[in-house]
Amino acid sequence: MFHCSIRPEAANEIRAAAEWYDQRELGLGSALVADFENRLASALKTPNAGICVGTTSQGTEVRSFRLTRFSKHSIYLASAVGKPSVVLAFAHSRRSPKYWQARLR
């Protein structure tokens, strides 16, 4: 579906967040995943629209994209022209803002 990869840690974060929301209200986890997928599709079309939050060890910019409905969640996407994009993290705003930076290597 997407022309990018999702790091296993980020996939686990998405899954854990969806499970957390489903425990609060059945179906809310699916809504979170749909919001993630829509925002990721948008981010892949316009990768420079996100807020630059760092660079990988190869010099690829990492940008943050806040979800629409679940606006306390952000996608951290590394993308560069001619290279496949990578979702490094899926973070909640209450989490330590730089926890994912160890994944930049």
User: pLDDT digit string (tens) for 21-64?
Assistant: 999 999 999 999 999 999 999 999 999 999 999 998 888 999 99
Cβ atoms within 10 Å of 71's Cβ, excluding its own: 10
3-state secondary structure of 80: coil
CATH of domain 4-93: 3.30.2310.20
Torsion region of 99: left, alpha or beta (phi above 0 gives left; psi -120 to 50 gives alpha) = alpha
The overall average pLDDT reported for the chain is 92
Residue 72 has pLDDT above 90, yes or no: yes
Residue 16 has pLDDT above 90, yes or no: yes
Q: What's the rounded mean pLDDT across residues 6-11?
A: 96
Residue 94 has pLDDT above 90, yes or no: no
- Dihedral (CA of 51, 62, 101, 65) sign: positive
CA distance 29 to 25: 8
CB contact at 8 A, 78 and 40? no
Closest residue by Cα to residue 85 from 53, 46, 36: 46
